[in-house]
Amino acid sequence: MEKHDGATRKVGYLCDTLFFWHDTGTGGDEPSDPRKGLQPVNRHYSAPEPKKRLHELIQVSRLRDQIVDLRARPATDEEILRAHSAEHLKNMELQSQLPKGGDCGDGGSPFGHNAIDIARLSAGGAIVAMESVLSGDTDCAYALINPPGHHAERDRSLGFCLFNNASIAVAHAKEKWGLERVAIVDWDVHHGNGSQDIWWTDPSVLTISIHQDRNFPVDSGFVDERGGGEGLGHNFNIPLPPGSGNIVYEHVVENLVRPALEQFQPELILVSCGYDAAMQDPLGRMMVTTSGFKRMTALMIETASKVCDGRLVFVQEGGYCQYYVPFCGLATMEELVGADSGFSDGYAAIVEGQIRTEITAEQQAAIQSAQDAYFSSDESGGKVG
C-alpha cells in the first residue's frame, strides 16, 4: 500500500451483507402493470447485484489483505435530521412499515418492508467511513453502501435513494468535528440533485456534479444552478452530452474539478461514486471504462493530498451493470490502495475499442459552458471560492 509520495496509505473499506438485502422489487423504471403491458422482471434496475459482485471481487482479490475493515452502524434520527426534514424522515418510516414496503417518491423506486433499517445502516456507514479518515485511523476510505443517496433532497426522496448518505456524513463532520469547508464531488451519471438541494444556501459546502445532461432528473443539473443566498457560487454543475467517455471525464476532473477544489480549499472531500457512467450501463450513455475511473481516482488522490492532507472518502452511489460495475469499482480500489488486485478488466477487449480519443466540438462546448458559468464573476461581484 504505497502512496504516490512513497508513504504508506491506510485505506478503510466498509461494507455489510445487509446492503445486499435491500429489496427493490421487480420492474424497470415503473412497476409491472398488466394494463400498461409492463411485465414483471426478476431484477429491478436498482437491485443490489452489481454492488454485491463488486464486494465479492474485492474479497477474492489481492486487495483483501491490504485494506482496513470498517463496520457500519445505523444513523440516528439526530444524524439524519441534520440533512433532512422531520416530515421526510417520518414519511420514510411510515412507508417502510407498509406490509409490502413503499417507494422513494417517483413511482419507480420501490423498497421493501422495514427497508429503513438498511437505509439507516447505509447512512451510518458513510459517517463511519468519514470518521475513520478524520480520526486518522485511515488515510482514505471507501464505503460500499446501499441504498444510494445523492438524489434524496431535504424534504423528499427519489431515484432509488431514501436518505442522502454523503450529505448526512458531511453534516456530521461539520457538527461533531467542527469542519468549516467540505466538498462533495459527484461523478454518478445522474445529477446530484439531492446534495445540491440540501446545501443550496450553505457556503461551507461545495457541491460539484458531473453528469449526463438531462438524464435524471431531467429538469435539473444545469450550469446556471449555482446555489442561492449565501451559498451562491458554491454549486458547480457539469452536464455533459451522451458519449462523453474517458477523455472528457478525465479532462473535466483535471481542468474543472481540481481547480475548483484548490480554490475552495476544503478540509475534507467526499466523492459520491457512481459507476453508471461506465460502458454497458443500462441507465447511462457515457462510456467510461475502468481506466477512466482509475485516472479520475488518481486525480482526486492528488488533489486531496494538496488541499486537505489527503482526507478523501468515497461513498457508493449508483451503477447498474452487474457485469462491468465490479471491474470499475475494483479499479478505483486499486488506485486508492496503490496495489495490483491480481485481476485485469475482464471486458477490456470489448469496451476499449469503443473509446473516443478526441473531445468533440459538442463536448468541448459543454465543458466551456460549465467552466464559464462557475469561474466567471456573477452580477453581485462575487467569485466562487
Q: pLDDT class for 382, splitting at 50, 70, 90? A: very low
Q: For residue 24, what pLDDT is reported?
A: 93
Q: Please state the rounded mean pLDDT for residues 355-360.
A: 89
Nearest-angstrom CA–CA distance, 238 and 279? 19
Does residue 384 register a pLDDT over 70?
Answer: no
Is the pLDDT at 3 greater than 60? The verdict is no
Question: Coil, helix or strand for 381?
Answer: coil
Give the pLDDT score at 207: 98
Q: Is the pLDDT of residue 383 over 80?
A: no
Residue 237: strand, helix, or coil: strand
Return the minimum-mean-pLDDT range out of 24-38, 138-152, 243-257, 342-356. Answer: 24-38
Model confidence pLDDT, tens digit, residues 254-269: 999 999 999 999 999 9
Question: What pLDDT, on a 0 to 100 scale, did the predictor assign at position 105?
Answer: 87
Q: Report the pLDDT averaged over residues 49-60.
A: 98
Q: How far is 307 from 42, CA to CA, in rounded Å?
A: 46
Asked if the model's pLDDT at residue 379 lies above 70, the reply is no
Note whether 177 and 313 are within 8 A (CB). no
pLDDT band at 31 (very low <50, low <70, confident <90, very high): confident
CB 241 within 8 A of CB 363: yes
Q: Which positions are annotated as active-site residues? A: 151
Q: Can you give the three-state secondary structure of 154-210, one letter per residue?
A: CCCCECCECCCHHHHHHHHHHHHHCCCCEEEEECCCCCCHHHHHHCCCCCCEEEEEE
* Range from 6-20, 107-121, 132-146 carrying the lowest mean pLDDT: 6-20
For cell 468535528, what's the residue?
177
Find the length of the chain: 385
Task: Flag the least confident range among 1-5, 27-31, 202-206, 332-336.
Answer: 1-5
Band of residue 8 on the pLDDT scale cut at 50, 70, 90: low
pLDDT given for residue 353 in this prediction: 83
Whether residue 302 is predicted with pLDDT greater than 90 in this model: the reply is yes
Q: What is the mean pLDDT of residues 168-173?
A: 98
* Amino acid 34: pLDDT: 87
Q: Which run of H or of E encompasses 129?
A: helix 115-134
The pLDDT score that the predictor gives to residue 377 is 53
Per-residue confidence (pLDDT) for residue 108, from 0 to 100: 87
> Are 194 and 161 spatial neighbours (Cβ–Cβ below 8 Å)?
yes
Whole-number pLDDT of residue 2: 40
Average pLDDT, the chain: 94
Looking at the chain, the whole-number percentage of residues with pLDDT higher than 70 is 96
| Percent of the chain topping pLDDT 90 | 87
Q: How would CATH label the architecture of 11-376?
A: 3-Layer(aba) Sandwich (3.40)
What is the per-residue pLDDT for 120?
A: 98
